[in-house]
Structure 1
Amino acid sequence: MSLPLSQLAKSTTGRTFGSLINILTKAEAYAAERGTDEAVLLGWRLAPDMFPMSRQIQIASDISARGMARLAGVEIPSKDDTEKSFADLRERASWASAYIKDLDDASIDADPDGTVTFPVGRDGETMTLPRQAYLCHFILPNLYFHASTAYGLLRSCGVPLGKRDFLGG
């Protein structure tokens, strides 16, 4: 059985962003209950050269929305990274989920044997992958990486999260 890219992408990203929204809600409640400034959790990182927790949500949103725009053949969306609160980050995750959900399925599923060329890194380098590989080996792994990193960062701060929170159960 073949699964259209649109169905795979929309169901997977929708569930993952839903989980992120739930995780962010729990983290906000945790901070409020303990009188902890949200900025502490939003800026949390495990190593000095690591992006902070807030940036993990921004990157998860950007890679997913921009990647799906490339698959749909539409203009690449741009969002400023201005989020300063859990509410802002939930809005960012909601935006990415809704943006992907609203993309045209037929456009995403068009040209199944085609390729996608996309930027990697900051030096102008590009990579080209078959469309299915772009979704399954770039977009989704990046979404999972940044979502699980945000989860892990918040968990390391003591936020009471479990596997079910990440999986969306």
Structure 2
Amino acid sequence: MSLTLTSVARAQLDQVYRALDIILTKGEAFARSKDVEDSVWLNWRLAPDMFALARQVQLVSDFTVRGMSRLAGVEPVSLSDDETSFADLRARIAKAREVVWALDSAAIDADPHADITFPAGRGREMTLPRQAYLQNFILTNALFHASTVYNILRQLGAPVGKADMMGMSPQG
């Protein structure tokens, strides 16, 4: 069995999407048990200069949808950033998964060593081989922002653990 960009991406992103669904579900249940409104926790940050929980989830979907769409050679679907509840965030992750899984595998897998140029924030562009773009940019950003969601929920006292983040909890 040979690995393709699609097989690597889908295996890793399936775990990230599943983990986010699990930890957001547990975070919501814990917030409800404490009579905390969703907006309080969705706007929580680890530090003043970091994005809030809701934005971290949005960034997971943005990096994965936009990145994988670029690898497939199609214009990325734009997801609106208007989520106001845990349920909205879980729906966004489900939509991201749906979009990524619908992309043409053959187009994604074409010439993994060819360069791809992409926006890298603050008006900059980067160029990487397609395989490095997947491994070092798309997946790294997805994992970073998903881990930050986990860390925010842990800081708030939600009963999430490593098994949840690995998509291995009984709920997953």
Same fold, TM-score > 0.5, yes or no? yes
Instruction: Tell me by how many angstroms 1:2 deviates.
Output: 3.5
Amino acid at match of 1:134: Y
TM-score with structure 1 length normalisation?
Answer: 0.96
Deviations 1:85-137 (A, max 9, x none): 00000011111111111111111101222111110113x21000000000000
Amino acid at match of 1:47: A
Residue in structure 2 matched with residue 139 of structure 1 by the alignment: 138
Percent identity over the alignment is 53
Mind listing any 5+ residue stretches in structure 1 that lack a counterpart? none
Runs (4+) of structure 1 exceeding 3 A deviation are none
TM-score with structure 2 length normalisation?
Answer: 0.95
Amino acid at match of 1:71: L
Residue in structure 2 matched with residue 87 of structure 1 by the alignment: 87
Residue in structure 2 matched with residue 159 of structure 1 by the alignment: 158
Instruction: Give 3-state SS (helix, strand or coil) of 2:117's partner.
Output: strand
1:65-76 counterparts in 2 under 5 A? 65-76=65-76
Between stretches 113-122 and 143-152, larger displacement belongs to 113-122
Matched-pair contact (CA < 8 Å) for 1:14–1:101: no
- Give distance in 1, aligned partners of 2:84 and 2:155: 20
Instruction: Tell me by how many angstroms 1:39 deviates.
Output: 1.2
Q: How many residues align?
A: 168
Instruction: Give 3-state SS (helix, strand or coil) of 2:140's partner.
Output: helix
Deviations 1:18-61 (A, max 9, x none): 11011111111111111111111111112111100110000010
- Give distance in 1, aligned partners of 2:131 and 2:121: 21
